[in-house]
Amino acid sequence: MYALGVISASLALLVGLLRLRVKLGRSMLASALLLALLLGVTPTEFWTTLASEWRDKPLAQRTPYMFVMLSALLTMVNVLGMAMRETGVSTKLGSALHGLFRSRRVALAVIPMLMGMLPTPGGIMLSAPMVRDLGDYVGVSRDRQAAINFHFRHLWEPVWPLFPAVPLVQGMLGISAATLIVHNLALSVAGLVGGTVFMLLARMPARAAAAANHARFGHNLRDVVHAFWPIAMVAGLYAGLDVPPAVGVLLAVIIFLVGHRVSGRRWAGVFREGFEFDYVLLIFGALLFKLALEAGGAVGDVVQFLNAMHVPSYVLIFALPMLVAYLTGVTTGTIAISFPFLIPYIGTGLEAKAGLQALAFAGVLCGLLITPVHLCLALSAGYFQTTLARILLWMIGPVLCIAGAGALMAALSG
């Protein structure tokens, strides 16, 4: 019971700091340090836990390896975004996407979906201007525009390797990239179906939208391919060859800069501008939180307490990550905080039940899509000049679809 109280206090600190607009990485680190302090974890115990990991676990599950790879992934994704701006590719992308799709419903959904494949922090604003312009033209309400942009941008979170949560879950559970993607794809499909039914198929004004870009189809397609081939390359290397996403993005950035003939003098500037120390703090804090839970014995204590309370395992697997996600609004932090408690139920390696992992990830998504502390939701409300409540009303149907898909995958896992 003490461990549960300590974890609650650490989460309360995290939520409080985020509400005070303290940077995410610093907030996560402060929460992890408080947890370690209250659990009485000494530096020696941290070291012993790390040594045990290094001895008994495969490389992908070791905390130092995950810290390096996840920090590099976040940084390199941002560098790729900077490289696209440097070459003007991202500027052409919006116009090209708008010109490719003649259906207003398809365009409203596809624009945030495609731009969401490059998950930079606050990147929801990349697609927001295009969605607002198109939505205003066809007469779609601002709250509906905001919900469409917010929801369809986040459909990739369970399966896309450029989101750090995906390789983090893979590393923690010791399962293959293909297994993770195949099972979590049900969540993305359910979100797509839910968004289509509840957001896109709902009545729209009768007038048709004029194409914003009158360039030839081939010209628009070329601009889109120029922007998305690096992202597709990373995903293919990860899913097909299990190449770490951070390595894949680095290779893509190098090929991208060479292919666009960016001068060597600008390379250092692109990499420097793409580096954000707070991203590194975020990963360090999240993994430190996970390590403190393990070193302090909190995971076993809490699991034992919940078993004594006879909480059904399926309810726990879904509800715990959903609660943490709702409180924090952070995907990576939620995974690092909640999944250690779920490992005894889900299993690891060959014993892992990927369907139960999908149920847990569904809980993460549902919490993220309805919490007012999610940065993307707050940015959407401000940009589209609407309220959080009106956006959230549009989210109810899609969120229920995602929860249902998670429950189905869990049931199929036996």
CA–CA dist 374, 147 (Å, integer): 13
CA–CA dist 137, 213 (Å, integer): 14
Give the CA distances from residue 400 to residues 73, 190, 203, 292, 403, in Å, rounded to whole numbers and listed in that order.
31, 9, 21, 34, 5
CA–CA dist 377, 149 (Å, integer): 10
Question: Residue 169: helix, strand or coil by DSSP?
Answer: helix
Q: Six-digit token pair at 327?
A: 């409180």
* Per-residue pLDDT at 210: 44
* Position 245, amino acid: P
Q: How many residues does the chain have?
A: 414
CA–CA dist 26, 3 (Å, integer): 23
* Per-residue pLDDT at 408: 96
* Per-residue pLDDT at 107: 78
Q: Provide the CA 396 distance to its chain's centre, in angstroms.
A: 19
CA–CA dist 166, 155 (Å, integer): 13
* Per-residue pLDDT at 123: 60
Nearest alpha-carbon partner for 291 in 33, 78, 27, 103? 33
CA–CA dist 383, 387 (Å, integer): 10
332-381 pLDDT, tens digit each: 878 988 898 899 899 998 888 999 999 999 999 999 999 876 767 767 87
Contact predicate 137/111, CB 8 Å: no
One-character DSSP codes across 37-106: HHHT--HHHHHHHHHHHHHHS-GGGSHHHHHHHHHHHHHHHHHHHHHHHHHTHHHHHHHHHHHH---HHH
Contact predicate 135/108, CB 8 Å: yes
Give the CA distances from residue 183 to residues 189, 197, 407, 413, in Å, rounded to whole numbers and listed in that order.
11, 22, 12, 10
Q: Six-digit token pair at 318?
A: 């879904």
pLDDT in tens, the chain (414 residues): 787 788 888 878 887 887 787 887 888 899 889 989 998 888 888 899 888 888 877 776 688 887 888 788 778 877 887 787 777 776 676 667 667 766 778 878 888 888 787 776 556 766 776 788 778 877 889 999 999 999 999 999 999 887 888 888 988 898 988 899 999 999 999 999 999 999 988 776 655 444 444 557 777 788 777 777 887 787 788 767 778 878 888 898 888 888 888 777 778 788 887 787 887 887 888 788 878 887 887 766 776 777 777 878 899 999 989 988 887 777 887 898 889 889 989 999 888 899 999 999 999 999 999 987 676 776 787 778 888 789 999 999 999 999 999 999 999 976
b/e map 123-152, b = 16+ CB within 10 Å: bbebbbebbbebbeebebebbbbbbbbbbb
CA–CA dist 166, 319 (Å, integer): 19
b/e map 319-353, b = 16+ CB within 10 Å: bbbbebbbbbbbbbbbbbbbbbbbbebbbeeeebb
